[in-house]
Amino acid sequence: MDTKFAAELPGGPPPRTRRARWPIALAGLALGAFVISSGRRVASDTAVCPQESPLVPEKNGALWTELTALHATDEFLMRAVGQLSAAVQIPTETFDAMGPVGEDERWVSRGSFVEHLATAFPLVHATLELQKVNTYGLIYTWQGSDASLKPLMLMGHYDVVPVAPLSADQWTHPAYSGHFDGTFVWGRGSSDDKSGVIGILTSIEVLLEKKFAPTRTVVLSFGFDEEAGGYHGAGHLGPVLLERFGPDSFAIIVDEGAGYSENYGAIFAAPGIAEKGSVNVNVEVQTPGGHSSVPPEHTSIGMLAAMIVHLERNAPKAVLEVGTPAFQMAQCIGAHGPAMQPALKRAILHAGKSKKALQKAEALLLQDPMYKAMVGTTLAVDIVSGGVKSNALPEQALAVVNHRIATQSSVKATTSRDAELLMDLAAQFNLSVTAYGELLTAVGASAYGTLELSAPQTLEPAPITPSDTPAFRLLAGTIRTAFQTARKDAQETIFVTPGMMTGNTDTRFNWALSQHIFRYGHGNMISGGLGGIHTVNEHILAASFVEMITFFTTLILNVDESAL
């Protein structure tokens, strides 16, 4: 998956020994034991960020009890581990700039994986309708008995980032071994995201073994190139789903995302209700060439360097705005985190009604670079090129400026801002300016050269999923149920807060399908439960994988009997 972390809030005490390897910016205080029930709010000292009670299926309560008891057995753990291990052993690497399916032979690895699924999950393939899109994209449909109910969609991707050849010998266990050491399953894809795909399919296979037949249709959508943007996989699956089901046709969509983590002594889950947008702005300067022994005052590279410095010095300012997902997270942490720095706690809890408190909260929160990056639009100059020979004046110089766009901003606001920032420098260097296909200034015959800005690929920030809805409350209650079910210690609890993504998932292709899209993987990110994502020694805690199956099982049953 693309980077999907929230930042850790500043101002708290030193962390406890147990803490997440991924910095989900969460803090809080456990409120003590609670009893599993349905539909009640957990008592809180504040009205900010109230917590849902754990939500247990009622109509299918006996089945849920039977299944969770099954999940707790050693036999089931070994079954689940075997399924994940076998999936990890099939390399499905995605590289940048892969050609179309059918032309680039590197896609062929997906065929083995798809064939394996048919063997590994016989009841799923005997019962659910399978539609293959662009050869390797998979849509499974588990038809419900009531066609009037909007379906549930569960998403995932089965491709993985490549294993760098130079790092192969750094793995504790070979990258595609799927080795189980009694505690962890090791290998590329064990966390990202074959655990999600295999977890969903295992949940449904077991439900089918128990003769469960859904009232509400369940749709599975599995992409095969999320690690390169999803354009060949989910990019084809999304339009097919839209044509088949229509706009706003799904009750809930759940895709991969960060799991739960311990911060400031409490455990938080942060389902992503938003994703930042992105755009790469190409800044290209073209000037006359010539021999370097007779240089102009500024070469194209020198001009571009001045523009880069100017852009970085005037990077977009991060602003904490009331109502944004980042603000909601901070308030939730403040509401349930008495260990938070008192000044910050007071400021963030009053920020919704006091401009002065909001400014104070912003000043304190934005001291943390990761939280600052989550709140605002970022600017990073990632690629620079220009010149071909040391004694030849460069005729062209190019920089690629990557922006991750704040949820409250837009592609147009971001690209227009870059153009406006560079206009004065372009005039100073006597350059004509073309920005995104539009000629802005034409210096004419006297122009020394040109400045061209382009943005070939853009992505707007995702529509924000509301968190004050039955859909979010159902998800939150399901998360709390799955968490507690996996633990015998009733004193350990979990808080659920709206979260957001700094990167992007395959849900970008499904925005039209639902107003309730969540990015959440119920994974234990405590004590190394997940690790090595996109690097060496990727692994997952076997018990965490089983808990993930419990989560998907509970979610399917809860949604099936809900009034969504």
Q: Give me the catalytic one of 159, 225, 284, 452.
A: 159
Q: Give me the catalytic one of 226, 262, 362, 452.
A: 226
d(CA 241, CA 255): 15
Q: Are strands 51-52 and 41-42 parallel, antiparallel or unpaired?
A: antiparallel
Closest CA to 146 of 79, 211, 216, 194: 216
Q: Which residues are annotated as a binding site?
A: 157, 192, 227, 255, 534
Asked if residue 274 lies in contact with residue 176, where contact means CB atoms within 8 angstroms, the answer is: no
Give the DSSP letter string of 195-225: HHHHHHHHHHHHHHHTT---SS-EEEEEES-
DSSP-derived 3-state class of residue 372? helix
Q: Which residues are annotated as a binding site for Zn(2+)?
A: 157, 192, 227, 255, 534
Buried b (16+ CB within 10 A) or exposed e, 268-290: bbbbbbbbbbbbbbebbbbbeee
Peptide bond into 159 cis (omega under 30): no
Buried b (16+ CB within 10 A) or exposed e, 360-394: bbbebbbebebbbbbbbbbbebeeeebeeeeeebb
Q: Are strands 272-275 and 378-386 parallel, antiparallel or unpaired?
A: unpaired
3-state DSSP of 450-466: EEEEECCCEECCCCCCC
Would you give the DSSP letter of residue 505?
Answer: -
Asked if residue 523 lies in contact with residue 260, where contact means CB atoms within 8 angstroms, the answer is: yes
d(CA 20, CA 190): 17
**Quick check: is 74 catalytic?**
no
How far CA 533 is from CA of 76, 78, 200, 227, 409, in Å, comes to 25, 23, 20, 12, 29
**Quick check: is 159 catalytic?**
yes
Q: What is the identity of the amino acid at 343?
A: A
Q: How many residues does the chain have?
A: 564
Residue 320 CB neighbour total at 10 angstroms: 22
Instruction: Write out the H or E segment, with its range, that includes residue 331.
Output: helix 325-336
d(CA 93, CA 4): 20
d(CA 198, CA 221): 13
How many alpha carbons fall within 13 Å on the CB side of residue 389?
Answer: 8
Residues assigned a catalytic role = 159, 226
